[in-house]
Structure 1
Amino acid sequence: MSMLKLAFQNFKSSFKSYLSLIISLSFTIMILCNFMNLVDSGILNQLGESNARNVEIIIQVLSFVIGCFMLFFVWYSTNVFLTKRKREIGVYVFMGLSNQRIGKLYAIETIFIGLTSLILGIGFGALTSQLFMMILMRISEITVEIHFQFSLQAGLTTTLIFGLIYLLFVIKGYVNIVRSSVLEMVSANRQNEYVKQKKVILVFKAIAGVVILALGYYLAIKEAGMEVMGNVFIAVVLVAAGTYLLFGGLIPVIFQGLATHKRFLYKHERNLWINNVIFRIRKNYRTYAMVCVLMVCSVTALAFGFAMKNRYDGIVHFENTYTYQVLSDDSGYRQEFATLIEKNNDIDVSSDIEILAIDSTYTDNPYSQPYALLAYSQIKKVAEETGMDFDLQEPSDDEFISLNHLYLMSLTNDMVADINTINGQEYRSIAAIDTPYLGYMQENMDYMIVNDHVYDELQVYGQKMHLYNYKIADASNFEASVEDIQSSEHCLGLVKIDPEREEIAWIKILYSVSIFMFMVFVFAGGCILFMKLYNDAFEEKERYAILLKLGISRKSLKKSIADELLFAYVAPLLVMSISSYFSVRALGNLMQTSLFSVYLVSVLVIIIFFIFCYLLSLLIYRKNAGI
């Protein structure tokens, strides 16, 4: 029988064993293929040149992330597959086959798995491409014309990326088998990830893990200024390292301590699974840590998407506060401009305010935007006229309140002490707000709200401007009044807001993409745990057979398996829930928004998915273990 036929027969007979791996790989390939097709389909061109370019950059970055994840996932899954197959393949040595021919057999069988995954992934990617785009645009709330179009280039690019990654690990597995001895092959599945360590080392790792995690959590929520971005980056590294040490040190120490307490151990037949958990955590702690980190990444990715969407909605609301903003050189023209607008539109809200632009020669920032002063009483009047919130405390003579615009993403959390100097006098910021009292015009200058006394004193150092603001009932009819407003000799400048413009629509795409990334990471994490437990069941078959012969009932063994598998899912889930809380909290501080509800929903979704994986694992584990 040829190697090809033998490998194909092995593949067919073990297809159920490979099913979870094939589904996981196919799902990842399908997502990557759909992202590639989105770029090549030409649909993004309907969003405009700027949006299309930004979305393409986002998708290219995400494709790179998925590619890196695919590299990692293929490495892990092929290692698990190789270890499981080594003992079986090692039998061929006794049949007279050389290591080279055995390695060739493994490579062909592994290629069958990869080809099946690739065909399914590309096939479902092509079939779901239109649905993927519809869901993406629906979540993004973007209206574009969608037609079925699957790009051959997208399929070829996906095939090339996956093929190179997969071939790399096929070759690695072939070389591994060629260099392995018969003893290594036969005992391989008992060596996987097993790390025998002294208790002193475990205690050291436990303490180090707790300290590193605590430091990472602290940096994640620490109040900071310009260094906040660096703190977040360091926190990510520390949380990942701390999670690894936690599963490799603290959890084994806890369970070993429980195993020494006989009263605890012998109640409810815990001795049937506690010791096995100790062995499993020392054997599989890298897997648990990896799944935990994947889940933290999934929750953070989803929270980031929601944070960007919230910021987008805030910016759109901010810019659409007023439909027209008219700049004039004097006061008293509010009714004149209102009359011109009312020829074609009804006015819902209007306000006017005086702005004092300080000459840069009197300030400490001569090369940046000039300071623009606003009187406290006038801001209060604008708030009353427009119905906006106003709960500001009036500044003292050496204080001011910063009136900011909404940033898409800030690299600080506004905790930096802000002191501005005008004509040698220092003024200290006591608060920073982003309420859109001045609407779109709030983006153009550094606004300082000072008390009326200071405002009057500083008038000699600047130039007054008058801003008249109007919001009409039908914003889509804004063009109708533009010529009338500009016909006035008192109109020095006009800002008109088109409610239909989509200059930053790419942010909504980012939001919907983050949902798909969340799904990919969660699905992958569940599949990794499922594959690991699936393979562990075969190793435990002999042990459970012996326990049955010793008189242990099947009911007790089934409960033992249920408790053991429950730990395998609950431990990563518990650590993930704690770590992701701090990661989402850090992201919320950075983006200046509350993401707690996103955290709760995402964790709940993961719990539901893990419950499904647990029940499926329990059913298959018992079957494979012969219980």
Structure 2
Amino acid sequence: MKFRHLAINNVLGNRHQYSAFFFSSVFAVMIFFIYAAFILHPDVRGGKIIGGEAVAIGMIGCECIIVIFSFFFVLYSFSAFLKSRKKEFALFLLFGTTKGQLRRMVLYENMLICLLSLGVGIGFGMLFSKLFFMIISEIISLDNPLRFYFPKTAILITAGGYMALFLVITMLAIRKAIKQEIIELMQASRQPKLPPRFSIWLVLLSIICLGSGYVLAYTMTPGNMLFIMLPVIALVVIGTYGLFTQSSVALLKGLQSNKSIHYKRTNMIIISQMIFKMKDNARILFLVSVLCAVILTASGTLNVFMNGSKEQLIDHAPQTFGFVETGLHAHNVVDPEDVRRILKEDGLELDYELQLVGLTVQAELPAINRELTAMLVSESDYNIQAARVKKRDQVKVAPGQAWFVYPYREMKKELVSKGEQISMKMNGKPLQLQMLGQKSGAISKPYGASGYLFVLNDQDYKELSAILPDELKTVAYGFELKKWESALKTGQKIEQLVPAHYKNAFESRVDSYHMFMQIASLTFFIAIFISILFFMASGSLLYFKLFTELQEDRAQLHSLRRIGVTRQEINKIVTVQIAILFFIPCVVGGLHAAFAMKAFYNIFSTNVLVYAGVVLLVYLAMQTVYFLIARRSYLKKVLVE
């Protein structure tokens, strides 16, 4: 039998251990290949796609993440697998195999896995690349979907890159694993494990780090976000590591000393074994917990980005189309009749129409120590429009007084205070008003004078309006549509009527929305693959670690069977142990993500706990499927007589 035949037989014989590692590698290769095929697509490289360069840059960043992930994932998985085969290597050496030959056999095995992963991954990539191109084309609104092509360069880069990656990792791993003497390799699995210990000081440190990180995240605000975000991450990571390496052992030791729990049914066996398993698997559980927290937090952050940004866009542009004219009857920007005609032609239904007339003033605000161009409007006109816009308060104004309205609600600083006297000039004539306070939120396009409003009593406004000529008055127009998201082409038709030097006076919310949605949807689409890759990695690490301890666990369970433990009790012991390994990281990661979501709520005032909860449930459902597969496969192997 030649070495390559021996390597093939070894891979087939250890297919249960290799399966999770193999499928995760296939998925990583497939995603890397598809992204590379898009980046190297002739239409993208030739600049025929608007925004294609930005999309390609984003995918290059994802490629880097995939490569870094693949390196550490393959390195850990392969090192752990070699460690579990020390007895097998000792037998080969005992029968006369040299260490060089043994290294060559392991090299053949790993390169076989590499070639299979590359072949299957690139094959699936070729199969799904056209679908990927079609989805990307739809997201970035291409008139013609990206054409299919044979990506020779992408194949070479993917194959060459991953073969080099596997080769380097294999050489690093086998050099470390196959350097011991025969007796050391033979006794590796027989050496008794020392009872896991913990330090009460490290337990307290982990609790303090986690608690401090949670408190800081819970109290995070836009003002202190930049200063405490990195400390929060560092504290939570340190605390999580201590939680699995120290606190878990301390907790299980505490349960072991509680007789009412420890001596109940099979708890003695479960707790005793879990003390060793938690200590042995501490690093894996730590990594999986961090991966889970990253996936959930990233999903919630993306939801904040998409929904929060849409709400902010609507808040900044209350009407679908808005423009500002100088002159009561002037139509220098665009004639409102033309807007109504185009809306009718395109079959779009109006929700409401805005026409807000105001008086331009130059106001001196001591808070910012500069003069501000603003607009005086009447109490009645303001309240009518405020009632149509979400989250806008009605106002009541007494003679001689005014409310100041700042257009952006996220602005927390008060530019005027209650009782403050504000001096201003209207057409060169001095004017002074006593402030009732400040309101936030635009009710029309915030452009020029219409960006900042002073709301006056109706009678005061009427008297001032009679002084200012009609040609100096400012008029803000707005058209809010019921299904405004689909009015992109309509907005482009209207904008074509606007003269070039008045472009800033016109605003289409739909343009900004579609540009934002392209970026957000593309980010979401790309992030889905990265999240699935991380999920598969976390599940594969647990699955892989489970089977590396198979021989030892099988011997222990057979010993239990000989002293009278039933098959049903063995099933229960194994199920509880595997469930703890699979679901504890989800609970810890979910808790981390919950505090991260609270921090985002404090910053963006957007509640994402429900969305993060849905993502957590999906993650738990997928993890449950992984758990059931692992449990069934593990029980089938471990209970073999």
> Aligned residue for 1:354?
358
Q: 1:624 aligned to 2:637?
A: yes
Mapping of residues 527-542 of structure 1, within 5 Å? 527-542=540-555
Q: Distance in 1 between matches of 2:224 and 2:73?
A: 34
> Of 213, 218, 228, which residue of structure 2 is paired with 1:231?
228
Question: 1:437-448 residue pairs with structure 2 within 5 A?
Answer: 437-439=443-445, 441=446, 447-448=451-452
- Which of 404, 411, 415 is the equivalent residue of 2:408? 404
Q: 1:379 to 1:284 in 2, by over 3 A?
A: same
Tell me the amino acid that sits aligned with residue 78 of structure 2: T
Question: What displacement does 1:361 show?
Answer: 10
Please tell me whether the aligned partners of residues 21 and 531 of structure 1 are also in contact (alpha carbons under 8 angstroms): yes
Query: Any idea what the Cα deviations from partners look like across 1:179-225, whole Å, max 9, x if unmatched?
Result: 33334433445789x886544x1x22222222111222222232423
Note the aligned Cα RMSD (angstroms).
Answer: 4.2
Q: Distance in 1 between matches of 2:546 and 2:378?
A: 66
Tell whether the 8 Å contact from 1:534 to 1:620 is kept in structure 2 after alignment. Answer: no
SS of 2:149's equivalent in the other structure is coil
Distance 1:560 1:471, change over 3 A: closer
Alignment partner, residue 280 of structure 2 = 283
User: Counterpart in 1 of 2:575?
Assistant: 562
Kindly report which structure 2 residues correspond to 1:140-289, keeping only aligned pairs within 5 A, or say none: 145-188=145-188, 198-199=197-198, 201=199, 203-289=200-286
Secondary structure class of the residue paired with 1:145? coil
Q: Distance in 2 between matches of 1:309 and 1:415?
A: 20
Answer yes or no: is 1:497 the counterpart of 2:508.
yes
Do 1:312 and 1:507's aligned partners in 2 also have CA atoms closer than 8 Å?
A: no
Distance 2:95 2:103 in 1: 14
Aligned partner letter, 2:586: L
Shift of the 55–178 alpha-carbon distance from structure 1 to 2, 3 Å rule, reads same
Contact 1:219 1:235 (8 Å CA) reproduced = yes
Gaps of 5+ in 2: 425-432
CA distance in 1, matches of 2:203, 2:434: 51
Which residues in structure 2 correspond to 1:372-521 (within 5 Å)? 372=374, 377=379, 378-384=381-387, 386=388, 388-391=390-393, 400-404=404-408, 417-419=413-415, 432-433=440-441, 437-439=443-445, 441=446, 447-452=451-456, 465-471=474-480, 475=487, 476-477=489-490, 494-495=505-506, 497=508, 499=510, 502-504=514-516, 505-521=518-534
1:20-39 pair list within 5 angstroms = 20-39=20-39
Shift of 1:281: 0.4
TM-superposition CA deviations, 1:435-491 (whole Å, max 9, x none) = x5224x46x7995555538x98x999xx9744233457995445666687769xxx8
- Contact in 2 for aligned 1:326/1:495 (Cα 8 Å): yes
Q: Which string of whole-angstrom CA distances, capped at 9 and with x for unpartnered residues, describes residues 143-198 of structure 1?
A: 75144334222222223432333222111112213533334433445789x88654
Counterpart-to-counterpart distance in 1, 2:81 and 2:578: 20
Q: Matches of 1:16 and 1:495 in 2, distance apart?
A: 64
Q: CA–CA distance in 2 between the matches of 1:38 and 1:451?
A: 54
Counterpart in the other structure of 2:563: 550
* Pairwise CA distance, 1:590: 3.7
- Distance change (3 Å), C-alpha of 1:110 and 1:565: same
State the alpha-carbon separation in 1 of the partners of residues 534 and 24 from structure 2. Answer: 11
Q: Could you give the per-residue CA deviations for residues 573-615 of structure 1, whole angstroms, max 9, x where no partner exists?
A: 2112211111233234444422122211111111111211221
Q: How does 1:7-22 map to 2 (within 5 A)?
A: 7-22=7-22
CA distance in 2, matches of 1:75, 1:577: 27
Q: Secondary structure at the match of 1:267?
A: coil
Distance 1:106 1:428 in 2: 80
Note closer, same or farther for the CA distance 1:388–1:316 as it changes in structure 2 (3 Å cut): closer
Q: After the TM superposition, which of the residue ranges 291-300 and 324-333 deviates more from structure 2?
A: 324-333
Q: Does structure 1 residue 615 correspond to structure 2 residue 619?
A: no
Alpha-carbon distance change, 363 to 528 in structure 1, aligned in 2, over 3 angstroms? same
One-letter amino acid of the structure 2 residue matched with residue 391 of structure 1: D
SS of the residue corresponding to residue 503 of structure 1 reads: helix
Q: Which moved more, 1:158-167 or 1:55-64?
A: 158-167
Q: 1:343 to 1:298 in 2, by over 3 A?
A: closer
Q: Which moved more, 1:474-483 or 1:517-526?
A: 474-483
Report the 3-state secondary structure (helix = DSSP H, G, I; strand = E; otherwise coil) of the residue aligned with 1:273: helix
- For 2:62 and 2:499, how far apart are their aligned partners in 1? 46
Match of residue 329 from structure 1: 326
For 2:393, the aligned partner's letter is D
| 8 Å Cα contact 1:375-1:450 kept in structure 2 | yes
Q: Is the 8 A contact 1:418 1:428 kept in 2?
A: no
Q: 1:467 to 1:71 in 2, by over 3 A?
A: same
The TM-score, its normalising length taken from structure 2, stands at 0.82
Q: Distance in 1 between matches of 2:47 and 2:603?
A: 28
Letter in 1 for 2:12: K
| AA matched with 1:404 | Y
Q: Alpha carbons of 1:190 and 1:478: their partners in 2 closer, same or farther (altered >3 Å)? A: same
Would the aligned equivalents of 1:30 and 1:125 in 2 still touch at CA under 8 Å? Answer: yes
Structure 1 residues 513-522 or 226-235, which shifts more? 226-235
CA distance in 2, matches of 1:552, 1:507: 56
SS of residue in 1 equivalent to 2:159? helix
Secondary structure of 2:356's partner? strand
- 1:124 equivalent to 2:128? Answer no
Structure 1: which amino acid aligns with 2:273? N
Distance 1:567 1:579, change over 3 A: same
- Please say which of residues 294-303 and 581-590 is displaced more in the overlay: 581-590
Distance 1:516 1:256, change over 3 A: same
The answer to whether structure 1 residue 586 and structure 2 residue 607 are counterparts is no
TM-superposed deviation, 1:420: 6.9
> Is the 2:313–2:509 contact (alpha carbons within 8 Å) kept by the matching residues of 1?
no
**1:4 Cα deviation (Å)?**
3.0
Do the aligned residues in 2 keep the contact of 1:43 with 1:144 (CA within 8 Å)? no
CA contact (8 A) 2:403 2:439 kept: no
Distance 2:285 2:535 in 1: 14
SS at match of 1:127: helix
* Change in 2 beyond 3 A, CA 1:96/1:445: farther
- Tell me what 1:306 maps to: 303
Q: May I ask how many residue pairs the two structures share in their alignment?
A: 605
Q: Which is worse superposed, 177-186 or 605-614?
A: 177-186
The alignment partner of 1:593 has SS state of: coil
In the alignment, residue 597 of structure 1 is paired with which amino acid?
A: V
Superposition deviation, residue 276 in structure 1: 0.3
Query: TM-score, normalized by length of structure 1?
Result: 0.83
Q: Which amino acid aligns with 1:96?
A: G
Q: Distance in 1 between matches of 2:55 and 2:415?
A: 38
Tell me which amino acid in the other structure corresponds to 1:75. L
